[in-house]
Amino acid sequence: MKAVVQRVSSAAVRVEGATVSEIGPGLLVLLGVAKDDGMAEVERMSRKLIGLRVFPDSNGRMSENLGEREILCVSQFTLCGDTSKGNRPGFVAAAAPEVAEPLYRLVCEKINARRGVFGADMKVAMVGDGPVTVLIEV
């Protein structure tokens, strides 16, 4: 399981022109589920995301966790793409939708995240804060 995590002032997901989810300050999580992922990865990723300390404390150092801020989590199978054999990514490492969707939903539930629409053509907008971007792989 892989995640690209961005600290944001705001983020939103639109599907077919309609906003389906939006948040204020918090984290935008792009989550990729690999074919061998299971409950152990769900648990580890959830703990990492909730405990991630990327928000400034009173001294301006990145040492505070999420606290009362929000999370928007968007499924992103392309994070499992492999470009080692050329310029067109291969996605054999990505979990099949029937495996990935329940695991994605479980992570979202565990971290109390708003969601995109699994498998939809989404337009994701965000206002980065920092910018701060972290890659997590469990």
What is the identity of the amino acid at 40?
A: A
* Catalytic residue selected from 6, 19, 55, 77: 77
Q: Is the CB of residue 75 less than 8 Å from the CB of residue 104? A: yes
| C-alpha–C-alpha distance, residues 112 and 33, integer Å | 18
What pLDDT was estimated at residue 67? 93
What pLDDT was estimated at residue 128? 98
Q: Determine how β-strand 18-23 pairs with β-strand 26-32.
A: unpaired
pTM: 0.95
Question: Which domains does the chain possess?
Answer: 2-137 (3.50.80.10)
Q: Which two tokens stand for residue 84?
A: 């080692």
Low-confidence ranges of the chain (pLDDT < 50): none
* Catalytic residue selected from 19, 76, 91, 118: 76
| Residue 19 is a catalytic residue | no
* Catalytic residue selected from 78, 91, 118, 133: 78
| Residue 55 is a catalytic residue | no
What pLDDT was estimated at residue 43? 98
What pLDDT was estimated at residue 108? 98
- DSSP for 114-135? EE--TTS-EEEEEEEEEEEEEE
